[in-house]
Amino acid sequence: MAKIARTKYIVRQPIKDLQGTILGYEIRYTGENYGYNEETGQDFMAAETIYNFLTQAGDRTLKGGLNFMTFTTNLLMKNTPKLFAPEDLVIEVSESAIIHPLAMRFLERYHQEGYAIAVKDFQFAPRYISNLRHFDYVMVDLHHAEDDSVKRLTEMVHSMGKKCVVTGVDDEELYQKAFILGADAMSGRYAAEQMFTAVHSSSYLQSNFFRLLVAITKDEPEVGEIEQIISMDATLTYSLLRIVNSAYFALRNRATNVHQAVTILGLGQLRQWIYLMGCSNEKGELDENQEEMLKLSFTRASFASELMRYAKNMPINRNDAYLMGMFSTLQFLIAAPLEDILAEVAISEHVKAALLNHEGRCGMLYDLILAYERADWSAINRLGEELGLPMDRLPEIYFQCLDEVNHIWQQLMDTGTAAGEE
C-alpha cells in the first residue's frame, strides 16, 4: 500500500496592488486526508489550516496585514470567521458559495458585521452577478481563465465598486497581462519579486554601503576599517545608532558614537543588521516596498538558519545559512547582477553556488525556502526529504521565524522612531 502523505503546509503569499503596495496575504495550505469524502475533506483541511494558523502564527504575524483565508460553507455556519477580528480577515470562499442559499445568507451577515469577503476562481455568469454585491474582492486565476473573460469580469467588478485580484502571476507575461486586463491587485511568484526596486544605483562599487558589505564579510574583518566606512556616511551612522539603541538590545546607556555602537553589536550582529543600514534613507526611513523586502530577507535568513538544526550532511554552518538567506535579495538592494556582487564578498563558496546556480545541498536548502514561499508543495516534499528535515515541523518552524522577524521589526522601528526624535 502506498504511503499516505499527511504533512500539512501553510504559507503566507503577498497580494499587492499595481503600485507594489501590500494589500494583504493569502493563507495557502495543502494536505491529504483520505478518510473523508470530497466535501467533508475540504471542511477538514480548511478547519485544520485555521487551527494551525491560529496556534502557530503569533499575534504579531496575525496583525501584520489582511489575511485572505478560505472558509467552507460548513465553517461559515459554525461562526468560524469570528475567531478573527474583522480588521484582520478577508473571508475567502469558492464560487460554489454564490449559488448556495445558506452560504450567501451567512456571508451577508458577516459583511454587515464588518468582514471583507472575497470569492475565488469566479467565472463570469450573468445570473449570479447580483450576489456579488456582498463581496469586496473577486479573485481570478490567470492560468485557468481566458483573457476576454477576465477583461469583461474586471469591467463588471469595477462597475460595482469591487476590486479584482488576479492570482497565479508566476512569470513576466502574466505580470504584464494583469496590467493590461485592468486588475487592481495580484499575487504569484513573479508578482512578489516585482515589489522590490533596487536602493543603490549602478555605481554601487563606489558606494559606502558596498564597501561596508565587503569589509564586514572578510575572513578577518578589520574593526577600524569598518568604523571608518560607517563614520564617513551620515546615513550609515544614523542607521547604526538607531538599531543599537532600539528596544531589541535594551541598553541601559545609549550608544552615542560609531565606535560604541560597533563594540556593543559585535561584528556578528553587525552582519545581520547591515541590510537595514543599507536600505534607510538619510533620515533612517524606509518605504513600504523596502520594508517588505527587508522582512523577506530576514525571514529567509531565519528560516535557513533554523532548518540547519535538522538538515543532514550540510557543508555550511548556521551562520553561513543565515547569510545565504539574507544575501538572496542583494540584487534588489543593489542595482547590479548578483554574480558581480557576490564576486566581491567573502562568503562560503557553497553559499555562492547555491545563490547563483542552485547547486549542492546548500542549493537544495535555498530551493526549499523558495518553494515554501511560492507554495510548491511537491518540491517542498521532495527537497525536505532529501535534506532529512522533519516534514511535520516545517509549518511550525516557518511561522516561528515569521513571528520572530515581526517582533524584532516592531522593536527596531518603534524605538528607532523615538531615537530619531531625540
Is pTM beyond 0.75? Reply is no
Provide, rounded to the nearest whole percent, the portion of the chain with pLDDT above 90: 23
Q: What is the pLDDT, as a whole number, of residue 381? A: 93
* Backbone angle region of 393, left / alpha / beta, with phi > 0 → left and psi within -120 to 50 → alpha: alpha
- Residues paired with 119 in a beta bridge: 93, 138
> What are the structural domain ranges in the chain?
9-193, 204-284, 288-403
Q: What is the mean pLDDT of residues 308-327?
A: 92
Q: What is the pLDDT, as a whole number, of residue 150? A: 82
Q: Which amino acid is at 191?
A: A
pLDDT in tens, 253-300: 788 888 998 888 888 788 777 767 766 555 555 666 677 777 888 899
Whether 227 has a pLDDT exceeding 80, the answer reads yes
Q: What is the mean pLDDT of residues 355-374?
A: 95
Q: What is the pLDDT, as a whole number, of residue 32? A: 36
β pairing state of 137-141 and 163-167? parallel
- Collapsed DSSP state (helix, strand, coil) of residue 37: coil
Q: Which amino acid is at 364?
A: M
Which band of pLDDT confidence, cut at 50, 70 and 90, is reported for residue 97? confident
pLDDT in tens, 176-217: 888 888 899 998 888 777 655 555 444 445 577 788 888 888
Q: Note whether 188 and 177 are within 8 A (CB).
A: no
Among residues 23, 220, 235, 256, the alpha carbon closest in space to that of 137 is found at 23
Whether 309 has a pLDDT exceeding 90, the answer reads yes
Whether 350 has a pLDDT exceeding 90, the answer reads yes
Among residues 204, 213, 207, 154, the alpha carbon closest in space to that of 180 is found at 154
Calculate the average pLDDT of the chain: 80
Domain 9-193 has CATH 2.40.10.10: no
Whether 333 has a pLDDT exceeding 50, the answer reads yes
Q: What is the pLDDT, as a whole number, of residue 16? A: 87
C-alpha cell at 258: 560609531
- Collapsed DSSP state (helix, strand, coil) of residue 137: strand
Q: What is the pLDDT, as a whole number, of residue 293? A: 78
pLDDT in tens, 110-147: 999 999 999 987 766 666 677 778 899 999 888 777 77
Q: Which amino acid is at 407?
A: H
* Backbone angle region of 92, left / alpha / beta, with phi > 0 → left and psi within -120 to 50 → alpha: beta
Which band of pLDDT confidence, cut at 50, 70 and 90, is reported for residue 29? confident
Q: What is the mean pLDDT of residues 78-99?
A: 87
β pairing state of 89-94 and 137-141? unpaired
For the packed helices 360-373 and 349-357, what is the interaxial angle rounded to 10 degrees? 50
**Helix (H) or strand (E) run with residue 89 in it:** strand 89-94
